[in-house]
Homo-oligomer: A and B are copies of this chain.
Amino acid sequence: MKPRDDKKVDQIFGATLGLVKQKGLAGITMCEIAREAGLATGTVYIYFKNKDELVNMLFSECRKASVENYFTNYDASKPFKTGFKVVWTNMLKFRTENFEEAVLMDQCYHSPFINDCTKKLTKELTAPIYKLIERGREEGFFKNLDTLSLLTFMMGSIHYPVKHAHYNRTPLNDTAIDSMFTMCWDGLKA
């Protein structure tokens, strides 16, 4: 028996991400995905039961990769601001470097593909970010506001600038990233 080729899943995911960035979730077809991945249409159905499952799996994969990356190089024993900047920068850079994934995730929330189960799972993954924000407030660095307000402000300071940098083809250099961080920090600061 011929074994499955794990590379093919990557090819399919890659092709799908590219197409979604180009044309949005509304624009993808299984036939195009297969062509773009260099496979026959039928092959896609060996790896995924149907389009729905493909999109759900891809979404989950993206979400997981993104969340797993947030705390890379984070050292809780270092001063708070140092650690916070590490996480903030991870988020910004990951989103910049994986823009296609970001587009997919943004589009998925309102889509007929993503089921409630997938949605619920992704919520659970964000718990560590909440903890980080709470630490900042408890140690007196942040304003005394509810965690969600602080968190959404932080996320907004990343997501929207990344989106714009991408569309205006003005990559964020380290100086720009530093400025953006300073704005975020000053905004959160007590």
**A binding-site residues for B, Cβ under 8 Å:** 20-27, 103, 106-107, 109-113, 143, 145, 148-149, 151-153, 155-161, 163-165, 167-168, 170, 176, 179-180, 182-184, 186-189
How many copies of this chain? 2
Q: In the complex, what residues of B have CB within 8 A of residue A158's CB?
A: 156
- A183/B24 in contact, CB under 8 A: no
Interface of A is mostly: helix
Chain B's closest residue to A167 (CB) is B109
Given contacts A23-B111, A153-B183, A183-B188, 18 further A-B contacts (CB under 8 A): A23-B110, A23-B112, A24-B25, A24-B111, A24-B112, A26-B113, A103-B110, A143-B179, A145-B179, A148-B164, A148-B170, A149-B180, A152-B160, A152-B161, A153-B184, A155-B160, A156-B157, A156-B159
